[in-house]
Amino acid sequence: MSFEEDNKPILLEDLGMMYATEKSKRKHRVGLYRCGYCGKEFSAKMHHIKGGQQSCGCIRSSHRLTKHPLYETWNQMRQRCYNQKHKYYLYYGGRGISICEEWLDVKNFIKWVEATHPNIEGYTLDRIDNEGNYEPENCRWVDNFIQAVNKRMTKNNTSGFVGVSLEKNKLKWKASIRFKHKIIYIGRFKTIQEAVEARDNYIIENNLPHKLSKDYKKE
């Protein structure tokens, strides 16, 4: 099955026979669809969709910008959120992560980048809140190091906090942090709470780019 077939518009509701526009002289059966490319809801004549209409129009509006250096960043963001066949969809669209309506148009995304971070060489797009959507208030450009240290908590984390683990032989909670390819041991503590607080304080006092332990969530 091709990518176009995977992303064909999804019928949400049959709106029945109606005039498609104010100037229409005849009625057509119209449906309410969700665009398989950008996720936007739109209405269209049902025979147009059956005849091959592929999107709400976002493909046409973005086609002229396919050679723009930011196009692929935008396109991959869109694929992760809306293409169920994408290898990372499970971690984005599958978790409810979406793109704000403004950025569904690639031109608006490009304008935001050019206004806020014109030089993106060596940087990648990052969501500040890993549970939040792709939108101006929740996105920034960071280097690979910062993005790596702020990865989401993995499933095999047993303490519930990044950088905190139980040393079973000593029955104490160990706090540590990975920075510049090295593991820094902060200390051993009697309780999880003490270990978490010590790790967070270390991040704050040393002005590190890591998120605080309470801000992480398990995958």
Please answer whether residues 79 and 68 qualify as being in contact, where contact means their C-beta atoms are separated by less than 8 angstroms: no
Strand partners, 173: 166, 189
The CB-side HSE value for 114 (13 A sphere, CA atoms) comes to 10
Domain residues of the chain, as ranges? 3-58, 64-149, 164-215
User: Distance (Å, rounded) from C-alpha 82 to C-alpha 3?
Assistant: 12
Query: Quick one: which H or E segment has residue 164?
Result: strand 164-167
Per-residue pLDDT, 217:
47
For the chain, give the longest Cα–Cα distance. 82
Instruction: Concatenate the DSSP letters of all residues of 35-72 into one string.
Output: -TTT--EEEEEHHHHHTT--SSSHHHHHHTTTTSTTHH
Per-residue pLDDT, 99:
94
Topology of the domain comprising 164-215:
GCC-box Binding Domain (3.30.730)
Percent of the chain with pLDDT over 90: 11
pLDDT score of 4 more than 50: no
Distance set, CA 14 to CA 18, 45, 98, 148, 213 (Å): 11, 10, 25, 46, 48
What band does 97 get if pLDDT is binned at 50, 70 and 90? very high
Model confidence pLDDT, tens digit, residues 5-53 = 456 788 888 888 876 566 666 788 888 888 776 677 888 888 888 777 7
DSSP annotation of 93: G
Q: Is the pTM of this model over 0.85?
A: no
Model confidence pLDDT, tens digit, residues 147-172 = 555 555 555 555 677 788 888 776 88
Strand partners, 184: 177
